[in-house]
Structure 1
């Protein structure tokens, strides 16, 4: 009987990772990861300064300018680099995010920071697009105000080869939202 029970437990665990799960299946563990790890990052002076600097640079960008930059980004990302992608991937905030990813012991598949318009400020890995402002990760955090947290559904990420859920939250300065961060949490490592 014990072997049957153990076999069923292994089967249940295997099925959990063999099929995409809804975000709420891992939400308690993701919230714990947010509270124990990510929340402390949000007040880092280097993070705040990088977002504020980019907000000053991009505040006058209209939809046409953002669309042009997003098209440039997509082409550069597909080609493996270019001026815009290299500018973001080579900045100090991207180095900081890469270090945070490395420190997480596989729990983070990717991490990126967005400004007030949803444009990439820094990233651990190259994103497929530059403008995230039209997606839930920005709209349900920055658009929802200070302290907003959005945990998306679990999906299989082909680039990392792992099931992940994107954890996104608003980044504020003195209670005023200035940007957002998204972390792809590898749920298999929680």
Structure 2
């Protein structure tokens, strides 16, 4: 019964035009500093981000834009070599397992490097470059311990209310930010 009341309340806020993660901010921050931070600091995430930063660290904006354009075109195409290459990475397999094991709490998970480019993901994202979005800017640029919580949105495919929760990926050896990770969180399952 409580689940139904929460859903009705959350949907009421959404339709009233007051879509904000503030209703769930406390629970989302607890999740961000607990389970999400634990996953962001896993050896799988750290190793993959460090490796990709070695490859993409010298990319300029023109190269980033070119890659993002290719990704967006592939998202609408049958042939998806760039997307397949990311989904075939061990990190993507790990993130898919984390999502599957979350009992519907996590709707998506993706990791970004020091340029805001996708390193691995549980499902295909609409774009490859996240570096122009708050989920990356407010975490990677802010450094260790940064958390970004997006507004609530209704997911058209699942008909659930979700918020994106992002945290900084930190190199445990140096304490420096090396990337970021974003989790789509079904707030009805908090």
Query: Contact 2:111–2:119 at 8 Å: present in 1 too?
Result: yes
Q: 2:32, 2:147 within 8 Å by CA — same for their partners in 1?
A: no
Distance 1:117 1:94, change over 3 A: same
CA distance in 1, matches of 2:79, 2:86: 10
Map 1:1-190 onto structure 2 (within 5 A): 14-20=8-14, 21-80=19-78, 82-173=80-171, 174-190=174-190
CA 1:119/1:11 → structure 2, altered by over 3 Å: closer, same or farther? closer
TM-superposed CA distance for 1:12, in Å, is 7.5
Asked whether the 8 Å contact 1:169–1:180 carries over to 2, the reply is yes
Contact kept, 8 Å, 1:17 with 1:188, in 2: the verdict is: no
Query: What is the CA–CA distance in structure 2 between the aligned matches of 1:81 and 1:144, rounded to whole Å?
Result: 37
Is the 8 Å Cα contact of residues 144 and 168 (structure 2) preserved in structure 1?
yes
* Shift in Å, 1:13: 5.1
Q: TM-score with structure 1 length normalisation?
A: 0.90
| 1:87-117 per-position Cα deviation (integer Å, ceiling 9, x unaligned) | 1011100001001101110000100000000
Unpaired stretches in structure 1, ≥5 consecutive residues = 1-5
Compute the displacement of 1:118 (Å). Answer: 0.2
1:70–1:130 CA contact under 8 A, matched in 2: yes
Instruction: State the distance in 2 between where 1:147 and 1:119 align.
Output: 20
The TM-score normalised by the length of structure 2 is 0.90
Measure, in 1, the Cα distance between the counterparts of 2:34 and 2:11: 24
- 3-state SS of 2:158 partner: coil
The aligned length equals 182
Q: Which has more radius of gyration?
A: 1
Q: Secondary structure at the match of 2:151?
A: strand
How many Å apart are 1:147 and its aligned residue?
Answer: 1.3
Q: CA shift at 1:31, angstroms? A: 1.8
Per the alignment, do residues 117 and 161 of structure 1 end up closer, same or farther by CA in structure 2, a change over 3 Å counting?
same
C-alpha separation in 2, matches of 1:13 and 1:188 = 6
